[in-house]
Amino acid sequence: MNKLLLGRYVPGDSWVHHLDPRTKLLASFYYIGIIFLANNWQTYLLMFIVTLFIIYLSKINISFFLRGVRPLIWLILFTVTLQILFSRGGTVYFHWGWFWLTEYGLINGAYIFMRFVLIIFMSTLLTLTTQPLSLADAVESLLKPLKLLHFPVVELALVLQIALRFVPTLMDQTTKIMNAQRARGVDFGTGNIFQQMKAVVPLLIPLFVSSFTTAEDLATAMESRGYQGGDNRTKFRVLKYHNSDIIAGVFMVALTVALVLLKN
Amino acid sequence: MDNAISVSHLNYHYADSDRLALNDINFDVAAGEWVAIIGHNGSGKSTLAKNLNGLLAPDSGTVEVAGMTLSEDTVWDIRSKIGIVFQNPDNQFVGATVADDIAFGLENRGVPRPEMVERVKDALARVKMTDFADREPARLSGGQKQRVAIAGIIAQQPEIIILDESTSMLDPAGRQEVLATINQLRDELGLTVLSITHDIEEAAGAHRIILLNDGQIKEVGTPEEIFAHGSELLELGLDVPYAAKLKEALSERGVKLPDGYLNEERLVDYLWTLHSTM
């Protein structure tokens, strides 16, 4: 269970850690967007240098990022292989039936590999340097304009915040119920797929029921502490942009300009 | 002193049951008083607490809190005067971190942020949790979570604190610490405390005890008066304090002791005199 992506936050005290979560969220999405501008070796080199520089700034060990790539490695290799085998053009090195090993195929395969790695590095950086809680704040703040369209932003933010807060609690509970059922003879994770699915029922139903209890208790506690809905509330947590956020923004613009100039 | 809480002819029954959960409840609590409500499981203690701040609406009868009669118009004002600390610390933790949770009640009431920061800091210091402000609930012990719950109530500066079996999940040391904190707050801020409890030693420290049995008030009295019943309490599904058990065991062995309930201190005093006269 501890492989979960959420909450893999690595506490730190770096320039990247101190950026406003809104900046980080927007910049990550923007960065992933402009990766698609890169289409030759100069642009990919630039992106790699920039990414490694940002990782260096975050003061987080590179091994964390490599670990982020690991679960996706088969998907990456599969895509790259397909790309290599089925693209045609340029010098042909090898040809057998449907399969062509060509210059363009190899180049495209390499590009796609790099693209994957860059995207994973950047999204890993976002989750490693930002607390899930600040991310929730960032989402709320960024969605605020939707209020004009009567979208319940404040309620969504509350739901998100409570969901995040209860993730570890529910995980603890899951482990507890699993152990309790094991002690009564339930066998998790053995047998064929139907037996395995059946074994999950004594885990799911108690978890479901206990969620109702928790929800009711929580609602009671919230109401007795004066919660009357989203309006007219003040906020304890506030997000503030700093100089470093401006620097990050300027940096992103500069990077885009450089990419546009360098690309084919 | 005015009455902090005054309840008259309160009746309540749950929709799925024809038995009255609360049957003609009458009592007053003076401002600044510490009152314990005891009774066996299902005697209506928690239902009573929820009737006091309008989480449940009484079938009939009136509830008056801090000079206001509970009704649909006053329910939010009354909730701002009463803080309830519930039993399960996990399920009442709303905020993502300790500081957020303490601020939750203040956010609800639209307290401006600078004041909120001050009050959160003060509440944290009072329950000695200042170093834990940024911790998530998953990384706190049960006792620490319970202290955060109390801090959340303190920050709202209520006039009345209701402890709904809030110490039931704590170890003896944690329980004592929490009670000491509340007691200190009561002295400093003149709070009224209503503690619903199974812990008989906690009840023994209260000014008065309300004894509930099957939804009815069986008796209201000082701990001395209530615990003087001795083993009758056991028949009601309750325990008696350690000093009372000791007294009983001693009188079974022929040691003559005065009638009525003696708290630990008085029992020690008496035994000491008993020895010196021999």
Contact B91 A236 (CB under 8 A): no
**Which has the minimum average pLDDT: A14-28, B14-28, B186-200, B223-237?**
B223-237
CA distances from A206 to A88, A179, B181 (A): 56, 13, 36
What pLDDT score does A3 carry?
47
What pLDDT score does A114 carry?
92
What pLDDT score does A1 carry?
41
Question: Which residue in B has a C-alpha nearest to residue A171's C-alpha?
Answer: B138
What pLDDT score does A178 carry?
93
Distance CA B195, CA B62 (A): 21
Q: Which residues, at least 6 apart from B93, have a Cβ–Cβ distance to it below 8 Å?
A: A165, B101, B137, B145, B148, B149
> What percentage of chain B carries pLDDT values higher than 70?
97
Same domain for B130 and B258, yes or no, is: no
Distance CA A205, CA A177 (A): 10
Residues of A in Cβ contact (< 8 Å) with B136: 165, 168
Residue identified by tokens 């289409």 is A39
B207, HSE (Cβ side, Cα atoms, 13 Å): 13
**Which has the minimum average pLDDT: A21-25, B220-224, B245-249?**
B245-249
Same domain for B226 and B250, yes or no, is: no
What pLDDT score does A6 carry?
42
Contact A225 B53 (CB under 8 A): no
What pLDDT score does A52 carry?
92
Q: Which residues of B are catalytic?
A: 165
Contact B94 A133 (CB under 8 A): no
Residue A236 · residue B107 · CB < 8 Å: yes
Distance CA B32, CA A12 (A): 47
Q: Where in chain A does DSSP place strands (E)?
A: 92-96, 99-102
Distance CA B276, CA B255 (A): 14
Same domain for B115 and B188, yes or no, is: yes
Interface mutation vs chain B, best among A169, A236, A237, most B CBs within 10 Å: A236
Contact A236 B92 (CB under 8 A): no
Distance CA A160, CA B149 (A): 21
Measured at the alpha carbon of residue B26, what is the angle toward residues B24 and B29, in degrees to the nearest 5? 155
What pLDDT score does A140 carry?
87
Q: Which residues, at least 6 apart from A247, have a Cβ–Cβ distance to it below 8 Å?
A: none
Contact B96 A165 (CB under 8 A): yes
Q: Which residue type sits at A5?
A: L
The whole-angstrom distance between residue B273's C-alpha and the CA centroid of its chain comes to: 35
Question: Which residue in A has a C-alpha nearest to residue B105's C-alpha?
Answer: A225
Contact A218 B97 (CB under 8 A): no
Say whether residue B263 is in contact with chain A using an 8 A CB cutoff. Answer: no
Same domain for B273 and B232, yes or no, is: no
Distance CA A82, CA A92 (A): 16
Residues of A in Cβ contact (< 8 Å) with B55: 220, 223-224
Beta bridge partners of B8: B62
CATH number of the domain residue B34 falls in: 3.40.50.300
Interface pTM (ipTM) of the complex?
A: 0.84
Query: Comparing C-alpha atoms, which of A85, A120, A88 is closest to residue A99?
Result: A85
Nearest-CA distance A228 → chain B (Å):
7
Distance CA B39, CA B213 (A): 6
Domain locations along chain A: 15-130+241-263, 151-225
Query: Comparing C-alpha atoms, which of B157, B131, B163, B154 is closest to residue B144?
Result: B131
Residues of B in Cβ contact (< 8 Å) with A169: 90, 137-138
> What percentage of chain B carries pLDDT values higher than 90?
22
Model confidence at B275, in pLDDT bands (50, 70, 90)?
low
**What's the average model confidence in pLDDT over B248-275?**
79
Mean pLDDT, chain B, rounded, equals 86
Nearest-CA distance A254 → chain B (Å):
36
What tokens were used for A35? 């990766």
The whole-angstrom distance between residue B241's C-alpha and the CA centroid of its chain comes to: 17
Query: Comparing C-alpha atoms, which of B235, B83, B232, B228 is closest to residue B166?
Result: B83
DSSP secondary structure of B143-203? HHHHHHHHHHHHHT--SEEEEESTTTTS-HHHHHHHHHHHHHHHHHH--EEEEE-S-HHHH
**Which has the minimum average pLDDT: A171-175, B24-28, B242-246, B271-275?**
B271-275
Question: Which residue in A has a C-alpha nearest to residue B155's C-alpha?
Answer: A225
Same domain for B199 and B116, yes or no, is: yes
SS3 of B239, please?
coil
Contact B92 A221 (CB under 8 A): yes
Residue B146 · residue B167 · CB < 8 Å: yes
Q: Which residues, at least 6 apart from A92, have a Cβ–Cβ distance to it below 8 Å?
A: A100, A101, A102, A103
Domain that holds residue B19: 3-239
Residue B104 · residue B95 · CB < 8 Å: yes
Same domain for B124 and B230, yes or no, is: yes
pLDDT tens-digit series, residues B110-138: 899 999 999 999 999 888 889 998 888 88
Same domain for B169 and B269, yes or no, is: no
* CB proximity under 8 Å: B 33-52 to A: 50
Output the pTM of the full model. 0.80
B152, HSE (Cβ side, Cα atoms, 13 Å): 33
- Measured between CB atoms, which of A162, A217, A233 is closest to B92? A217
Query: Comparing C-alpha atoms, which of B38, B23, B35, B29 is closest to residue B5?
Result: B29
Burial profile B8-40: b = 16 or more Cβ within 10 angstroms, e = fewer:
eebbbbeeeeeebbbbebebbbeebbbbbbbbe
Residue A123 · residue A24 · CB < 8 Å: no
Q: Torsion-angle region of residue B150: left (phi > 0), alpha (psi -120 to 50) or beta?
A: alpha
Model confidence at B276, in pLDDT bands (50, 70, 90)?
low
Same domain for B230 and B254, yes or no, is: no
Same domain for B137 and B30, yes or no, is: yes
Number of Cβ within a 10 Å radius of residue B119: 20
Say whether residue A223 is in contact with chain B using an 8 A CB cutoff. Answer: yes
Say whether residue B171 is in contact with chain A using an 8 A CB cutoff. Answer: no
Size of interface A-B (CB pairs under 8 A): 94
Question: Which residue in A has a C-alpha nearest to residue B114's C-alpha?
Answer: A236
Q: How many domains, in total, are found in chain B?
A: 2
What pLDDT score does B277 carry?
55
Same domain for B230 and B245, yes or no, is: no
Burial class (CB in 10 A: 0-12, 13-18, 19+), A49: exposed
Mean pLDDT of successive 10-residue segments in chain A (264 residues)? Answer: 53 81 92 89 91 89 85 91 80 74 86 92 88 86 89 87 87 92 87 86 93 92 86 84 90 92 85
pLDDT tens-digit series, residues B44-65: 888 898 899 888 888 888 898 8
Contact A236 B88 (CB under 8 A): no
Model confidence at B98, in pLDDT bands (50, 70, 90)?
very high
Please give the radius of gyration of chain B, using alpha carbons only, rounded to the nearest integer: 20
Taking each helix axis from N to C end, the angle separating A103-129 and A73-86, rounded to the nearest 10 degrees, works out to: 160
Residue A6 · residue A132 · CB < 8 Å: yes
Distance CA A242, CA A223 (A): 36
Residues of B in Cβ contact (< 8 Å) with A238: 113
Nearest-CA distance A178 → chain B (Å):
19
The whole-angstrom distance between residue B195's C-alpha and the CA centroid of its chain comes to: 1
Question: Which residue in A has a C-alpha nearest to residue B116's C-alpha?
Answer: A236
SS3 of B230, please?
coil
